[in-house]
């Protein structure tokens, strides 16, 4: 019987390294900005703040789901979800959309290099 841990498997470590490389720093910056928007508008007493809160919260949730899907091994689907959640906040949301677009470009580049 082999009682080795799955964490010591080099194949699992390689998968973890490649998926964390796909999370772009622009995406992390945009998640932090979105989280701050949600936190600052959560206790707002005026209508504009509440509207911004209810617009930002579903997009933040969608972006978090996109990041989890990227980390689970489906970067194309996760990046598309992340872009959808970011585009709502034009122009500052383009930060996250550009990060997700870089992931999609990397996937296309890797696929092209495999065909050579």
- Whether 16 maps to a domain, the answer reads yes
What pLDDT digit, counting tens, does each position of 40-61 carry? 998 888 888 899 999 999 999 9
φ, ψ of residue 9 in degrees (nearest 5):
-70, 125
Contacts of 92 (CB under 8 A, 6+ apart): 33
Q: How many domains does the chain have?
A: 1
Residue 1 within any structural domain of the chain: no
CA distance 56 to 85: 9
User: Confidence class of residue 65 from pLDDT cuts 50, 70 and 90?
Assistant: very high
Q: What is the mean pLDDT of residues 1-5?
A: 48
Q: Is residue 35 part of a domain?
A: yes
pTM exceeds 0.85: no
Q: What is the band of 11 on the pLDDT scale with cuts at 50, 70, 90?
A: low
What value does the mean pLDDT take over residues 25-54?
91
**Which residues span the domain enclosing 35?**
6-115
């Amino acid at each position: 019987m082999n009682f080795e841990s799955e964490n010591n498997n080099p194949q699992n470590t390689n998968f973890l390294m490649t998926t964390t490389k796909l999370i772009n720093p622009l995406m992390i910056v945009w998640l932090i900005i979105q989280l701050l928007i949600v936190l600052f508008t959560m206790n707002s007493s005026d209508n504009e703040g509440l509207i911004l809160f209810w617009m930002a919260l579903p997009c933040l949730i969608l972006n978090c789901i996109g990041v989890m899907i990227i980390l689970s091994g489906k970067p194309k689907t996760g990046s598309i979800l992340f872009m959808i959640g970011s585009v709502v906040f034009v122009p500052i949301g383009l930060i996250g959309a550009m990060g997700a677009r870089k992931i999609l470009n990397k996937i296309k580049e890797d696929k092209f290099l495999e065909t050579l």
